[in-house]
Amino acid sequence: MRNIVYLDKKNKKYKGNTHLHTKWSDGKLDAEEVVERYKDLGYHFLCFSDHEIYTRTNEFDTETFITIPGMERGGLNPAFTTNDNIGFHFTVLDDPNIMVPERYYHLQQFEYPQKWEGDLSVTQCIRRLEEHGNLVILNHPEWHMTAFEVMKQYDFFAVEIYNHATEWSLSTSYGTAYWDYALQNGKRLFAIAADDSHDYNKDKKILEYGGGWIVVDSDKLTHRELMKNIKEGNYYSSSGPEIYDFRVEDGKVKIQCSQVQAIMFKSWPVRGDFIIDRDGSPLTGATLKINPLMTYVRVECIDCNGKTAWTNPIFIKDLL
């Protein structure tokens, strides 16, 4: 079995939010203010994922902060007039490492709703976005009351497993069951935690900013390097805890993290270990021996408030 390092404690780590809204669509703040608020919170990158309008600008880029081109693409719904809850929203992230003849430009607008022509319309929408050099993430499936079958039907780059906005609004923020369903059915799928913020309500107890994010292992803070590492899965998702190191060494999965209450190794079809000190002593790492029957292993580090950091999956066949 090969040794692979997924997150290296020696590497630089950059924190970002891939899902938010500005005045370019239904957000309350303009892009400049959004950038300032997130910088104050210690973020290194953002994507202005406004509804049906693509953003591509380097006007906010500095040595310590960049924006990634992208948008949120929606309006794809089997029964738009009778039930607009069930449908598809995608976070679309520009990956400059994909060579394509044409890319979307700054403030390019897209039609809404999209014509529904059966299941094929979803595949065609994903393909069109990919053909323009983008990675496609399935957003907030629980909020959209997505059928689990969808996870088998289509190929997404990642699924939002934590969407902060739908936690404080409708308590429908988690997508991990969808993620595991896809993984159990052989899909190669990564995860994303994001804010989906629309307003900065600093006087409210529940803040829209800073609830869910990803942290990317990368040598440099450039659009190209970040997307290369995101595409390879060299990042983790979090609503609180930090992960410093994540690797396979000598047939064992090893993780190091900030102080948490429990560490869960999620695997299939053999259950992984759940590690908790019932006396309440915090954990800062754990190890799991890989069972050859496992097809994937992913790890959740959970603190005493239920805030979680999620690794991307280790696909066991990559190690053979």
Q: Which of 50, 167, 195, 196 binds Zn ion (CB under 5 A)?
A: 196
Query: 13 vs 89, which CB is nearer to Zn ion?
Result: 89
Per-residue contact string for residues 25-64; x = within reach of Zn ion by CB under 5 A: ----------------------------------------
Query: 139 vs 311, which CB is nearer to Zn ion?
Result: 139
* Of residues 67, 89, 114, 102, the one with CA closest to residue 175: 89
Q: How far is the CB of 261 from Zn ion (least distance, A)?
A: 31
Query: 89 vs 298, which CB is nearer to Zn ion?
Result: 89
Q: How far is the CB of 65 from Zn ion (least distance, A)?
A: 21
Beta strands in the chain (DSSP E): 4-7, 13-17, 45-46, 66-67, 70-76, 88-94, 134-138, 158-163, 190-194, 213-217, 235-238, 243-249, 252-260, 262-268, 274-276, 283-289, 296-302, 308-311, 314-315
Which range, of 25-33, 176-184, 189-197, 233-241, touches Zn ion by CB under 5 A?
Answer: 189-197
Residue 195 touches Zn ion, criterion: CB under 5 A: no
* Of residues 77, 79, 73, the one with CA closest to residue 53: 73
Q: How far is the CB of 297 from Zn ion (least distance, A)?
A: 30
Q: Which of 13, 89, 164, 228 binds Zn ion (CB under 5 A)?
A: 89
Q: How far is the CB of 74 from Zn ion (least distance, A)?
A: 6
**Range list of H helices, 70-175:** 120-131, 150-153, 164-170
* Of residues 114, 89, 96, 298, the one with CA closest to residue 194: 89
Q: According to CB under 5 A, which residues from 129 to 158 bind Zn ion? A: 139
Per-residue contact string for residues 279-318; x = within reach of Zn ion by CB under 5 A: ----------------------------------------
Q: How far is the CB of 6 from Zn ion (least distance, A)?
A: 28
* Residue 60 CB-density burial (10 A; 0-12 exposed, 13-18 middle, 19+ buried): middle
Q: According to CB under 5 A, which residues from 205 to 234 bind Zn ion? A: none
Instruction: Indicate the SS3 state at residue 25.
Output: coil
Query: 164 vs 228, which CB is nearer to Zn ion?
Result: 164
Residue, CB closest to Zn ion: 89
Amino acid in position 101: P
- Torsion, Cα 130 132 137 141, to 10 degrees, reads -90
Structure tokens at 258: 């900030």
**CA distances (Å), 169 to each of 55, 163, 196, in order?**
26, 11, 11
Q: How far is the CB of 198 from Zn ion (least distance, A)?
A: 8
Q: Is the peptide bond before 269 cis (omega within 30 degrees of 0)?
A: yes
Q: Which residues, at least 6 apart from 136, have a Cβ–Cβ distance to it below 8 Å?
A: 90, 91, 92, 126, 129, 130, 156, 157
Query: 36 vs 84, which CB is nearer to Zn ion?
Result: 84
Query: 90 vs 268, which CB is nearer to Zn ion?
Result: 90
Query: 121 vs 287, which CB is nearer to Zn ion?
Result: 121
What is the contact surface with Zn ion in residues (CB under 5 A)?
72, 89, 139, 196
